A = this chain, B = another copy of it.
Amino acid sequence: MTKRIAPGGRIGILGGGQLGRMLALAAAEMGFSTHIYCPEETSPAAEVATHTARGAYEDETELAKFAAQVDVITYEFENVPAHTAEFLSTLKPVRPGVAALATAQDRLVEKDFMRSNGIATAPYAQIDSLEDLTQALHEIGTPAILKTRRFGYDGKGQTKIDALVDAENAWQIIGKQPAILEGFVPFAREISVLVARNTNGDLAAFEPGENIHRNHILHTTTVPAAIDASLVAYAMKIAEQIAAKLDYVGIMGVEFFHVATNETTPLVVNEIAPRVHNSGHWTQDACQTSQFEQHIRAICNWPLGPTKRLSDVIMTNLIGNDIDEWAALLSEENTTLHMYNKADARPGRKMGHINQLNTRKS
Asked if A326 meets B48 with Cβ closer than 8 Å, knowing A31-B339, A306-B333, the reply is: no
Which residue on B lies nearest to A28, using beta carbons? Answer: B48
A33 to B340, CA, bound (A): 10
A271 at the interface (CB under 8 A from B): no
Q: Which of B8, B337, B341 contacts A28 (CB 8 A)?
A: B341
Which residue on B lies nearest to A8, using beta carbons? Answer: B341
A32 at the interface (CB under 8 A from B): yes
A177 at the interface (CB under 8 A from B): no
Q: Contact check, A33 vs B341: say whether CB atoms are below 8 A apart.
A: yes
* Residues on the B chain within 8 Å of A24, using CB: 48
A359 at the interface (CB under 8 A from B): no
A221 to B86, CA, bound (A): 48
Interface size range of chain A in the complex: 35 or more
User: Smallest Cβ distance from A207 to chain B, in angstroms?
Assistant: 18
Q: Which of B302, B303, B327, B339 contacts A4 (CB 8 A)?
A: B327
Asked if A31 meets B357 with Cβ closer than 8 Å, knowing A7-B323, A48-B50, A303-B330, the reply is: no
Per-residue 0/1 for A1-43: is the Cβ within 8 Å of any B Cβ (1 yes, 0 no)?
0001011100000000000010011001111110000000000
A210 at the interface (CB under 8 A from B): no
Q: Which of B7, B323, B357 contacts A326 (CB 8 A)?
A: B7
Q: Contact check, B288 vs A339: say whether CB atoms are below 8 A apart.
A: no
* Residues on the B chain within 8 Å of A327, using CB: 4, 6
Copies of the polypeptide in the assembly: 2
Asked if A357 meets B50 with Cβ closer than 8 Å, knowing A326-B6, A338-B29, A343-B8, the reply is: no
User: Smallest Cβ distance from A97 to chain B, in angstroms?
Assistant: 23
Q: Contact check, B25 vs A21: say whether CB atoms are below 8 A apart.
A: no
A250 at the interface (CB under 8 A from B): no
Q: Contact check, A33 vs B47: say whether CB atoms are below 8 A apart.
A: yes
A48 to B50, CA, bound (A): 6
A13 to B47, CA, bound (A): 15
A233 to B336, CA, bound (A): 26
* Residues on the B chain within 8 Å of A4, using CB: 327
Q: Contact check, A7 vs B339: say whether CB atoms are below 8 A apart.
A: yes
Which residue on B lies nearest to A355, using beta carbons? Answer: B288
In this complex, the member of A24, A33, A326 whose beta carbon has the largest number of chain B beta carbons within 10 angstroms is A326
A331 at the interface (CB under 8 A from B): yes
A265 at the interface (CB under 8 A from B): no
Which residue on B lies nearest to A49, using beta carbons? Answer: B48
Q: Contact check, B25 vs A341: say whether CB atoms are below 8 A apart.
A: no
Q: Contact check, B28 vs A288: say whether CB atoms are below 8 A apart.
A: no
* Residues on the B chain within 8 Å of A50, using CB: 47-48
* Residues on the B chain within 8 Å of A330, using CB: 297, 302-303
Instruction: Sample 20 A-B pairs with CB under 8 A, ordered by A number.
Output: A7-B323, A7-B326, A7-B337, A7-B341, A8-B341, A25-B25, A25-B29, A25-B48, A28-B47, A28-B48, A28-B341, A29-B339, A30-B338, A31-B340, A33-B47, A48-B48, A48-B49, A288-B334, A302-B330, A306-B334
Further pairs besides A7-B352, A28-B48: 17, Cβ < 8 Å:
A4-B327, A6-B326, A7-B323, A7-B337, A8-B343, A21-B28, A25-B28, A25-B48, A29-B339, A31-B339, A31-B341, A33-B341, A288-B334, A297-B330, A306-B333, A306-B334, A310-B310
